[in-house]
Amino acid sequence: MYKGQTALIMGASSGIGAAFAGELARKGMNLIVVARSGDKLQRLAEDLSARHGVQVDVIIADLSDEQTALGVYDEVKRRRLQVDLLVNNAGVASYGFFDKLSLKKQEDEIRLNVLTVVSLTHHFLQDMLERRRGAVINVASASGFQPTPFMAVYGATKAFMISWSEALWAETKDKGVSVVALCPGRTATNIQEVMGVGAVGPGKDVSPEQVVRTGLRALEKGKMTVVDGRGNYWTAQIARIFPRKFVVGIAYRIFRKNSSGAA
Ligand SMILES: NC(=O)c1ccc[n+]([C@@H]2O[C@H](COP(=O)([O-])OP(=O)(O)OC[C@H]3O[C@@H](n4cnc5c(N)ncnc54)[C@H](OP(=O)(O)O)[C@@H]3O)[C@@H](O)[C@H]2O)c1
């Protein structure tokens, strides 16, 4: 399933994306790694190809810019590479009251977490469907199962990701292509630092490697959606069963209480 195939990982320079790169290289996959931090990607590429003997291509791109993002597809074609597994992982989050956060920042968040994912997947999925072979892992979030006060835009982008990904799963499952929405809870990565408020949300941080193992197991089993961690799984189920007003009230208290930041 993995050996000798090629995975394209969006946002591979740190956190869950870097853990995907490590695990997939260990399984013998060639990689195309994408992010803005060229130096980190270069180090990762040298390390993984030396350790696992795989080919690692680096593409430096700001995926919150729609044109640059589409350039990634063109660049993959120009290098005559074939993408067998697409990992839509690049994402950012911002924390605070919606009206107090910069509009530009939140629009960029929607571009990166949603628009880029949709447009690049549209391109790569067509190639996979033509070959009747391929897989897509969409890194969503446990936040996508309920509204997320103080991370209103982020939660909504991840709700989009889950709904869109599940619909794609249904459309492609009989055509040789697997699509899975991977929904991590709190994971020890740079994202909290980028948000600038420390740990937010229920539960404890897990390692990005655990999240990756959960995602790959789900892909291998042909699952549509997977939530990492039992606590996160049950939180997601509760959010589906109880009235939305009740759920958002709980989420308001959890996300405010656990924050050390603006809200
Ligand atoms: N950590 C958590 O608690 C958690 C929980 C649920 C879901 N997630 C999801 O997991 C995914 C990965 O996040 P992470 O937690 O691993 O955070 P992270 O360590 O901050 O990694 C984010 C990755 O996205 C890349 N990225 C950010 N902005 C980009 C841009 N404009 N263009 C290109 N690449 C960009 C970053 O690379 P550069 O900065 O080098 O560009 C980095 O490689 C995200 O989709 C996030 O929403 C995380």
Name the E strands within 22-106: 30-35, 56-60, 85-88
Q: Name the helix (H) or strand (E) containing 36.
A: none
Can you state the percent helix, strand and coil of the chain, rounding each to 5? 50, 15, 35
% of the chain exceeding 70 in pLDDT: 97
Is the per-residue pLDDT at 124 higher than 50? yes
- Best probe residue, ligand 1, of 117, 191, 197, 207 (max atoms within 8 Å of C-beta): 191
% of the chain exceeding 90 in pLDDT: 87
Tens-digit pLDDT profile for residues 139-193 = 999 999 999 999 999 999 999 999 999 999 999 999 999 999 999 999 999 988 8
Q: Is 154 a catalytic residue?
A: yes
Is the per-residue pLDDT at 196 higher than 90? no
Distances from the Cα of 34 to the Cα of 7, 89, 114, 226, angstroms: 11, 10, 16, 24
Dist. CA 222–CA 37, nearest whole Å: 33
* Domains by residue range for the chain, with CATH: 6-257 (3.40.50.720)
Residue 42, SS3?
A: helix
Whole-number pLDDT of residue 257: 57
For residue 182, report the phi and psi dihedrals to the nearest 5 degrees.
-100, 120
User: Average pLDDT of 81-85?
Assistant: 98
**Residue 139 Cα to ligand 1 middle (Å):** 10
**Residue 18 Cα to ligand 1 middle (Å):** 10
Residues with Cβ within 8 Å of 194's Cβ and at least 6 positions away in sequence, in order, are 92, 93
Is the per-residue pLDDT at 110 higher than 60? yes
Is the per-residue pLDDT at 260 higher than 60? no
Tens-digit pLDDT profile for residues 168-181 = 999 999 999 999 99
**Residue 11 Cα to ligand 1 middle (Å):** 6
Dist. CA 224–CA 219, nearest whole Å: 8
